[in-house]
Structure 1
Amino acid sequence: MAEIHIQKKKRPVWPWILIIAAVLIAAWLLVENTRVDEQIAGGLKDEQKEEEYNSIPKTHSSAMLNDYIRFINEEQPSGSNPNKDFINEGVKKLSMAISEIAEEKFPRNSEINSQADLIQKKSYNLRDDSKNSNEIRDIAVSTADIFGSMRKNSGKNIDSEVSAVRNSADKIVINKSVEKQQNEITDFLKQSGDVLQRLAADDKEV
Structure 2
Amino acid sequence: MCVPYLLKVALKKVENEEAQKEVEMALLASSSIGIFNSIKKELYLNEIKEIIQHHHEHHNLTRIAYQSAWQFFIDRFFNDKSLEEVIVNELHFPRETAKELEVLTRCIDWKKKEEENEEKGRKETKEEVVLYRWLRMLEIISDRLKEEEKDEKEEAERKRMKMEMFEKLEEEGYEDVIPSLLIIHDIQNDKYECGLSHDIAGYFVNV
- TM-score interval for Structure 1 and Structure 2 normalised by the shorter chain: under 0.3
Which structure is higher in RCO with an 8 Å CA cutoff and minimum separation 6? Answer: 1
Q: Which has the larger radius of gyration?
A: 1
TM-score by length of 1: 0.28
TM-score by length of 2: 0.27
